[in-house]
Amino acid sequence: MEVFHDVDAARGTQINNAIIKLDGIRAQQTVDGALQKLWDNPRRHRRTSATSMARRLDQLEAIWRAHIDKHPGCMNGPASLSPSPTPTWRVKAANLSSLCFETLRHGFCSMKDDGATWLRLIVQLSVTNAAVRAGMVLFGAVVQSASASFSCNSAHSILRRRHAALLALQKELRTTKTTSAAQVFIASVLLAASEALCGDLAGGALHLRGAFLAIGRIRAAPATSSHQSSPAPVSSTMSSFSPASECENLHALALSMDIHTAWFRLSQPPDLDPTFCPGAVQLMGTCKTTDKMAILQLLHSCYHFAYRVSPFKYMSAAYAPAALVEEQCRYLAALRSALASLRSSDLMHTKRAGDIQKNLVLRAQCLSTFIYLSTILVPYEVAYDVYNTEFADIVQACELLTRHPVNEVSVRPAFQYSLEPGIFQPCYLTAMKCRSLPIRQRAITLLSQLGCEGPWKSPQSTAVARRALQLEQIVVDGFVPERARIHGCSTFTLQLSDGTASRSFRAEFAFCNDVDRMVADGDPDDPRYWTMISEDFDIVP
């Protein structure tokens, strides 16, 4: 494997990119394939896949060792690949870990509580667990490259760090102890976030599914099994919270990230099973405090229901089962109850700034879910016009959060990222579905200020929302007719010839030519009823 530095910059970049394509990407695809087999069926593939993957990883280590020995000045090897890591590498890894923690700690307008348990858990595991430590270094490298101009050197760095993180996670997957599930969960979450920021949403979804399997192991394990004939769990040395609360907080993080994916890919259900019963509306109505977990479970179950009922959106109302309509009413009642709880005066006038932020974020999320669920069985885009008041409430809450941040820091990180859902999806829904021009423009302005949140990225979403506004500028007497309204929008990251993500993406906007006739025919998949407009956008670094 050769890296040339005594050539002009343009030629050197081309050669280095070719090296990444031939030696790095192909090798990592082998590792990803083995990891996917392990996640899909851990028991069946534990021996064969782990053995073959270990053999392949040994080959990768030999390649990296040979390259580092041949070019000691141009590339410092990761600690897991070199028996004597250089002090420079150690210092850089420590800086990247610190950057990872600071980015997650200052997540912009997320609904995480002050001193979230999983953040404290990351700090401890970064010292005691190699997989979490490698995941933090990888995430820090990705954030560093996203904060500055992307170069070939940063691509090499991310590739090396990714390789080291996959090595460490593969070693964790070989263990069968229940106490290792928390480490696997945190490491998988960091890998998923790193892949999403790099534009590989499929890879991010793979690691996120692995994290969900790990959290399932944690919740399914008996309460006493983790204390018998095994080392003490991670949280046992921390006096601030118990193993039970640790499990609950990790499950809350998993639920919130699953809500992220449900928002981002409405055509698929959430991965985790629903845990909220829509019949328990009276419990939400009598709640006098904001129960974050209860609202998370409600939102999560709402998108499970939305997936089940979405096939009936563009069909006659007679085709929708009465049971689904009744269930929709129960979910909407539960959302109204949650909104009433968040609107109560004792909550909105609390003295804790963190509680105010959390309540505003949860309120915006409940409002956006209420709007989406209310229109899930209505084929007409004009149905969203009824909810202009709710759209205005979303924008007002989000503007309050962005104008008066409550984080106790004077300087916010240059790169803003949040693992947990915040106000991105409510702002995006408002920017795409609200046809009141002043409210819509305010929502687009908010989108441009939000940074990144889970799989969402501010530059892409802002560009799509602005283009949607331009395409819908057919106004008749202050009203956008149904035929001129966008019914749906899909985005795709464009791929290079080697299969890696490029720095551009494509958006497809769907217009319905005749909603009435399409509903009468009962065939929403007929392409005659749809006009598709595809446009390519350049990603702004």
Whole-number pLDDT of residue 154: 64
CB 208 within 8 A of CB 192: yes
CB-count exposure of residue 421 (10 Å: 0-12, 13-18, 19+): buried
Compute the distance between CA of residue 523 and CA of residue 302 in angstroms, rounded to an integer.
Answer: 26
Amino acid (one-letter) located at 361: V
Among 159, 148, 125, residue whose Cα is nearest residue 498: 159
DSSP3 helix / strand / coil % (the chain, rounded to 5): 65, 5, 30
Neighbours of 87 (CB within 10 A): 8
Per-residue pLDDT tens listing for the chain (541 residues): 333 333 334 444 443 444 344 444 444 444 444 444 444 444 443 333 444 444 544 554 454 445 445 444 433 333 333 333 444 445 577 788 888 888 887 775 555 554 467 788 888 888 888 888 888 988 888 888 777 655 555 677 787 888 888 888 888 777 655 457 788 889 999 999 998 888 888 888 889 988 898 888 776 764 444 444 443 444 333 334 445 667 777 888 888 889 988 888 877 888 888 877 655 444 444 444 457 788 989 999 999 999 999 999 998 887 888 999 999 999 999 999 999 888 764 455 555 666 778 888 999 999 999 999 999 999 999 999 999 999 999 999 999 888 866 554 445 566 788 888 889 999 999 999 999 999 999 999 999 988 888 888 888 999 999 999 999 987 776 788 999 999 999 888 776 554 455 668 889 999 999 999 999 988 888 999 999 999 998 865 5
Cα 303–chain centre separation: 15
pLDDT the model gives residue 328:
94
pLDDT (0 to 100) of residue 379:
94
Other beta carbons within 10 Å of 222 = 9
pLDDT of residue 176: 55
pLDDT of residue 177: 56
Q: Which of 161, 217, 168 is nearest to 43 (CA)?
A: 217
Question: Which helix H or strand E contains 505, and what residues bound it?
Answer: strand 501-512
pLDDT of residue 116: 64
Strand spans (E) along 335-432: 417-418
pLDDT at 418: 86
- Among 234, 217, 210, smallest CA distance to 128 is for 234
Residues ≥6 apart with Cβ < 8 Å to 521? none
From edge to edge, which strands make up the β-sheet containing 417-418? 417-418, 452-453, 456-457
Element (H, E) at 487: strand 486-495
Q: What is the pLDDT of residue 466?
A: 94
**CA 500, 257, 449: angle at the middle one, nearest 5?**
75
**What 8-state DSSP symbol labels residue 224?**
T
Kindly give, in sequence order, each residue whose CB lies less than 8 Å from that of residue 523, ignoring residues fewer than 6 positions away.
529
Query: Can you say whether residue 454 is alpha, beta or left, with left for phi > 0 and alpha for psi between -120 and 50 degrees?
Result: left
The pLDDT of residue 368 is 96
Token pair of 523, please?
Answer: 């065939």
Helix or strand or coil: residue 89?
helix
Determine the Cα–Cα distance for residues 41 and 49; give it in Å rounded to an integer. 10
**Sheet (strand 530-538) strand order:** 486-495, 501-512, 530-538
Element (H or E) spanning 456, and its range? strand 456-457
Whole-number pLDDT of residue 29: 47
Task: Write down the pTM of the prediction.
Answer: 0.77
Domain ranges within the chain, ordered by starting residue: 9-255, 274-379
> Rounded to whole angstroms, how far apart are CA atoms 121 and 124?
5
For residue 299, the one-letter residue type is L
Cβ-based neighbours of 139, under 8 Å, separated by 6 or more: 96, 100, 103, 190, 193, 194, 197
The Cα 194–Cα 162 span in angstroms is: 9
What is the rounded CA–CA span in Å between residue 520 and residue 529? 12
Q: Coil, strand, or helix at residue 152?
A: helix
Give φ, ψ of 503 to 5 degrees: -100, 25
pLDDT recorded at residue 88: 47
Distance between alpha carbon 324 and the CA centroid of its chain, in Å?
29
CA distance 53 to 169: 12
